[in-house]
Amino acid sequence: LKEGMEARFRRHRDRGTAFREAMRDMGLTMMPVSEVVSANTLSAPFYPEGVKGGDFMKAIGTSDVMVAGGLLPGIKDTYFRVGHMGSVTNGDILTTVAAVDGALSACGYRK
């Protein structure tokens, strides 16, 4: 309440946009593809070609960052989910981006 709803909405939007930009800079495709309809509180990057979801989840599990696997039937093994809502800071976003980058590298991904 102290932060105010508009400020919180703006912070969620800014954190989500920054995270998705970092994922795109790494060469990942986002779901949805259009930023216009992306959620402010959750992002869903697709694994890049050659990276298996199980391998990625095992690799990122060695970091202090938690991500979630996909949920949508038929494609759940092709993407992962990252929440960036609540009290998430810029530092949290940077830490998560670094963990994703490290996990992708551990899986042999090179942009």
* CA 85 remoteness from chain centre: 12
pLDDT (tens digit, 9 = 90+) per residue, 43-91? Answer: 999 999 999 999 999 999 999 999 999 999 999 999 999 999 999 999 9
Going by C-beta distance under 8 Å and a sequence separation of 6 or more, which residues neighbour residue 12?
40, 41, 84, 85
pLDDT (tens digit, 9 = 90+) per residue, 13-46? Answer: 999 999 999 999 999 999 999 999 999 999 999 9
What pTM was computed for the model? 0.94
Q: Where are the alpha helices (DSSP H) in the chain?
A: 5-25, 53-60, 90-106
